Structure 1
Amino acid sequence: MSEPEEMNGPAATAAEVEAGQAGSILIVDDEPGVLSALRRLLRRTRYEVHTAESGAAALELLEAHSIDLVISDMRMPHMSGAEFLARVQQRWPDTVRLLLTGYADIGSVVSAINEGGVHHYLHKPWDDQDLLLTVRRSLEQHALRQEAARLTELTRSQNEQLKQFNATLEAQVKARTEEISQTVMFLEKAEEELKRNFTAMLKVCANMIEMRCGALGGQSTRVADLARRLALASGMSVYEAQEIYFAGLLLGIGKLALPDAVVQKSIDKFTPPESRCYYQHPLHAQMALMPVGNLQPVGVLIRHQHERYDGRGTPSGLSGADIPVGARILSIARDYEGLQSGALLGKVVSDPQIVSIFRAQSGLRYDPLLVESFLKLLNEKLTGDNDHVCIETARLKPGMRLADDLRTPKGVLLMTRSSVLEAHHIAQIRRFEESEDARFSVYIARDNPVVADRTAECSADTGVDGVQRVRVTGA
């Protein structure tokens, strides 16, 4: 039997409303008088009250309604209170269970607690206030447990959502990081390619200058290489050394404005007017490079390449530390190349004689400290081990890396140092070699695996930059 209690009794107190005392109660007792008395007692509360006269009827009510608290008599026919509460515990473990007994037999109470999981027990006859207080506290604890379970589930759910969000965010960050890394890598490669192309263009310009002025092929590159090594050996930064390298490549660009009669004559044979005309070429170079912002510092170094350490040079008569250090380095590299090639004195000068000339001019024409660094560097290069080998074009293979610029016997630049050969490069080189009717000297880095297979006889010679090279003379 179910008798929901109407809210027609005294209104719930403010404290009860504030405390949220609403709940659903099931009273089970085989005595109608007891059920009636308990209904009247609970009428003053906000609880929804159901009653049942047996355990079986109570179980049916529990199936049909959501019950928060059960008050059961201990001694009932067919199903005892302990047995009924045990079933309630099994089927509806969250429901609060109270035992109402008129017996003082402690064994019955223990059995109900053990079998039915009773939260509290009350004696018959009961004290109204004690019963109401017990019911209220039991329902409060029930509500707190439910709220704790709800919050626990909510926390678990939110933690799971947060975990998924973090995983998604981590994947997005990883993907974005990889995307940025790829972009940076692409930009770095593009920058490296741009630098290589820029350097290659400067070498092409230097090659055109040499062709115009009748200089030996690769002369500007050798001056530039030597100047860069001397700059690094003197403690300058890579950036500063690179700037000096560019100046070395373009050292003679101002000579394009000179008459043929001047550029094709050695310096030692100049007449006074020709000498004055010749030494104007650094100024022409600076003006020619002025439109290119990145090459303006290079133009300054080229302008002062003929200054002397003792102040008797041109065009500004600077001396000592007032001369840009890059210009001081360029003058040493330029004159060394000129002495070795014969362009400076009209004849080739041997290395021992070159060393004597630089020592004699130390402190006069050249910076003494740079001269010492240069002579030390020159000695190391003359006695050092080779890191490259010269092979015939027939033995070239894709993937080989050039250890030096590739030039025709006439000095025309075909490919720059550090370029990696591809199949179409090799085919083009062989066609050029056939059209020129001459054998090309191709210098390949020794770290290429194919270089280890030496099937040709080689002879060694020392280049104008002091680096010993290996030339293939036969296969």
Structure 2
Amino acid sequence: MEDNTPTDATRFTVLLVDDEVFILNSLKRLLRSQPYDLLLAESGEQALELLASHPVDLVVSDARMPSMDGATLLAEIYRRHPQTIRILLTGYTDMPTLIKAINEGRIYRYLSKPWDDAELLSTLEQSLAHLHSERERQRLEKVTRQQKAALEQLNATLEKRVESRTAELQQTADMLDLAYAELKRSYVVSTEVFSLLVNQRLPQGKQTNQALNELVRACCNAGLVESSLEHDLIMAAALYNVGKLGWSDSMLARPSDLMHHHERDTFRAYPETSESLLMSLEPMQDAARLIRHHQERWDGSGFPDHLKGSAIPQGSRLLKLAVDFVELQRGLVLERNMNRDEALMFIRKYAGRLYDPDMIEPFVQVCASYLTDITLADPRVRGLGTRDLEGGMVLARNLNADNGMLLLNAGKALTPVLVEKLIAFEAMEGARYTVFVRVAETA
């Protein structure tokens, strides 16, 4: 496989558009040390004139400009020059403008004013790397079409040379299949690259996308969904929370269980928002449908459509399991961060209410294989409250206080006195601990 990373010799042309000259000068100073040829425009009309006479790889446009705003400009650029990467620079939160820029201008990313220099430089670098990769993909696709056309022409005269050419033709066909498979995989790679940009909106300890991508891939490899769903499910896992991009930073980091009343409608709308942002991209339409329904619940109490049981798409059922498992550990569902075993206990508890009951145990087994510190896969392990503990039970994993202090090591045998001390400590701390113990098998 060829390396699609741009070389040091690659130069790109970047067009900066803003009606405020000092903003243009600030951007010019920031980018002058980069390997870019810069063009400047003070209006949408001037930008379109430059695009008509210069090949431009990427446009960074201000959102609010007189005569022609940034969303309208980027939509027009998409119509005339669809291969040009488009980035919106906005100094205010305006969801209609942002949605227009995404749906009509098909923007790659939007950034807020005042911008962070490092983030802006990183965004441009990633955007242009994506552009380079897309051009390489198109080149390979053209080569593939040419090879296919040559193969069809060869087939017209195949009867005369069938015996001598059969092996060579089979090899060529295999290579074409591999090329098509690689092209299909590139769509998945692109969504995972974009998911990293979505992840940047979240605080470090709240980021979910990478862990979710890896877990969903493990579930697909284990056969938890039909093979025909794997491609769309992996893309859905990468972009399930794209509808949260318009949220405030405080809302992004707040557990859904603690959201204010006025925030709950926004939270419940994010699967539909995610779907609407992706539906205009034809290769993403099936993945967008999985995202729309990943907050449906097995008992019909979910959203947005209150689907129930097997009416919920299979991929959406698995995506909900994986999203909740990861978000419970990041403190995005409840006020505290659960460990992995506690998250699985929560999922088991709500089997048949929130989750497909037939998926629970296969999902637990995947987690146990994929994550080394899962203990609940062992049928002898139980998660108990302190008042349910008995002497003779053995800790299956370390017990830590809420502040992180180690209370007891895994392997410690409990005594009645030790159980009483744990109960007293729990009461003193005002906490509620789940203790994972290994119990003896009954005859």
* Fold equivalence (TM over 0.5): no
TM-score normalised according to structure 2 size: 0.45
